[in-house]
Amino acid sequence: MMPAPVRACFVTGTDTEVGKTLVSCALLHAWAQEGLVAAGLKPVAAGAQEPPEAQGLYSQWVNEDVEQLRQASSLTLSSQQVSPYVLRTPVAPHLAARREGVHLDMQVMVQAYQHLCGLAQAVVVEGVGGFCVPLNEHQDTSDLAAQLGLPVVLVVGLRLGCINHALLTSQAIAAKGLRLAAWVANTVDAHMPELQNNVQAIHERLQLLAPVGQQVVYAGCVPRLSEPVAEAAATYLDWRGVDWRAT
Ligand SMILES: Nc1ncnc2c1ncn2[C@@H]1O[C@H](COP(=O)(O)OP(=O)(O)OP(=O)(O)O)[C@@H](O)[C@H]1O
Ligand SMILES: [Mg+2]
């Protein structure tokens, strides 16, 4: 019997720092709860700290996203398996790479994904920043998402301006021939006026932008959490009805 195809998605956001890692870890948690062996991938991580035990060894530097995805994965993965590129400088990846004399090769990222597909039954790929962040002179993260051909989950950071960012991102996803499978509202600004009406406006318009017959599932709204951990965020999200098939 053929093994079941790996369930996977590409998690993008309306911006950097909007909750992609939190939602990616919550999704890994949900998939693990379903009994799937789930693994997280961060194709490029920019911004790493040197732990005391690293003793100057650059390969030992740790990135917060990579550590969180590693911990949320249901199998033991090395930092290298979760991210083939951990850059030290916390700036746009192509600039960090240039500074550090690294060429970000999309094929290396695709291979890292394929490697995880050989180990896990479900893979969550967390994008970098927003959807169109450059990786090198010629390619950006939307090209990587297209190369992987995965359904996309959009994390919308709820704050003023997020409707526009959500709709632009949805158009960029469609322009790459990809499918927006689900979206999550994450409360970045807990005091945002008209929060629920913003969610409603985004939900209606994302569905209007989708091709006829395609459902953009609203997985839920994560409130501002006192402890922003995967298990807590997962309780606010319902992924039922999401079509995880690759495009
Ligand atoms: N709902 C929430 N409640 C409380 N804190 C949150 C919430 N969502 C995110 N955070 C915190 O905000 C920060 C940014 O979140 P997160 O790292 O998930 O964003 P990101 O989109 O993955 O950022 P990056 O672009 O750097 O990958 C983190 O410190 C996280 O713990
Ligand atoms: Mg992140």
pLDDT digits (tens, 9 = 90+) for 63-101: 999 999 999 999 999 999 999 999 999 999 999 999 999
Residues 22-45: pLDDT tens digits? 999 999 999 999 999 999 999 999
Find the distance separating the first CA and the last CA of the chain, reported in whole Å: 23
Within 6 A (CB) of ligand 1 lie 13, 16-22, 65, 129, 186-187, 222, 224-225, 228
Helices 162-175 + 195-209 axis angle, to 10: 20
User: Would the pLDDT of 51 be above 90?
Assistant: no
Average pLDDT for the chain: 96
Q: Which mutation among 18, 22, 224, 229 tests ligand 1's pocket best, with the greatest number of atoms within 8 A of CB?
A: 22
- Distance from the CA of 88 to the center of ligand 2, in angstroms? 15
Note if 176 is an active site residue: no
The answer to whether 23 and 232 have CB atoms below 8 angstroms apart is: no
To 10 degrees, the CA torsion angle through 96, 99, 101, 105?
30
- Distance from the CA of 214 to the center of ligand 2, in angstroms? 27
- What the chain holds in terms of domains, given with CATH numbers, is 7-42+106-234 (3.40.50.300)
Q: What average pLDDT does range 195-214 have in this prediction?
A: 97
The answer to whether 30 and 184 have CB atoms below 8 angstroms apart is: no
Amino acid residing at 102? V
- The sheet with strand 217-222 has its strands ordered as 38-41, 122-126, 7-13, 152-158, 180-187, 217-222
For 4, how many CA atoms within 13 A lie in the half-sphere containing its CB?
10
Q: Which amino acid residue places its CA nearest to atom 25 of ligand 1?
A: 16
DSSP letter for 52, please: G
User: Would the pLDDT of 60 be above 90?
Assistant: no
Q: What average pLDDT does range 203-224 have in this prediction?
A: 97
Phi, psi (deg, nearest 5) at residue 128: -120, 120
User: Would the pLDDT of 56 be above 90?
Assistant: no
Q: What average pLDDT does range 116-122 have in this prediction?
A: 98
User: Would the pLDDT of 2 be above 80?
Assistant: no
